[in-house]
Amino acid sequence: MKKGLISFLIIILFIFTFIVFYKGLNKTSLYKPKSEIKNVPEFLGLSLFLKEEKDSKKIFNENKYYLLNIWASWCVPCRDEHPILISLSKDDNLDIIGLNYKDNLSNAKKFLDELGNPYKEIFIDQEGIIAIEWGAFGVPETFLTYNNKIIKKFIGPLNQNSVLEIKQAIK
């Protein structure tokens, strides 16, 4: 009788474990935050090179297109997208603002010395607070803005399709 009870409990445990794992297969492990941010967040930030505090309200003007690019020197996809940013920086209808995310500042400067600086302004975000205010959850992320409104968010490195979307929007 005791042997039969142990066998029954093992079978019940096996069935329970199977059900838990089966239900887990139907759930995705990908995290995608819900971001309903429409307006350009206002913030005070230190500039990378001058180390002076700047108000974003004085940077993001109305009737102008901006790309806010969140990047870091340790980010491999940031390195991959950098030539695209250099190319976009040559467009007079667009200003690119950098947000250096949780980075070693000397490494960030070396990164720009090596690859070029596409940014009109660069803010430092050592704690990641500014990026959170924008609704970002990683690097690189890029936001296209106009009239202090976010009109497009690009998650991950920019590519040729992103460039086409940006150029169509700023015409």
pLDDT at 49 over 70: yes
3-state secondary structure of 7: helix
Separation of alpha carbons 25 and 150, rounded Å = 36
User: Confidence band (pLDDT; 50, 70, 90) for 8?
Assistant: confident
**The residue count for the chain:** 171
pLDDT digits (tens, 9 = 90+) for 115-140: 999 999 999 999 999 999 999 988 99
Q: pLDDT > 90: what percent of the chain?
A: 67
pLDDT at 31 over 50: no
* CA count, 13 A, side-chain hemisphere, 156: 5
Nearest to 145 by CA among 67, 56, 41: 67
> What average pLDDT does this structure show over 38-51?
90
The pTM (predicted TM-score) of the whole model is 0.78
Ordered alpha helix ranges (H), the chain? 2-25, 76-88, 105-115, 129-134, 160-169
> What average pLDDT does this structure show over 97-115?
97
Q: Which domains does the chain have, with CATH numbers?
A: 44-169 (3.40.30.10)
User: Confidence band (pLDDT; 50, 70, 90) for 35?
Assistant: low
pLDDT at 18 over 50: yes
> What average pLDDT does this structure show over 91-103?
96
How do the residues of the chain divide into helix, strand and coil, expressed in percent and rounded to 5?
A: 40, 25, 35
3-state secondary structure of 142: strand
Nearest to 70 by CA among 142, 163, 164, 150: 142
Nearest to 112 by CA among 128, 127, 96: 96
> What average pLDDT does this structure show over 20-32?
64
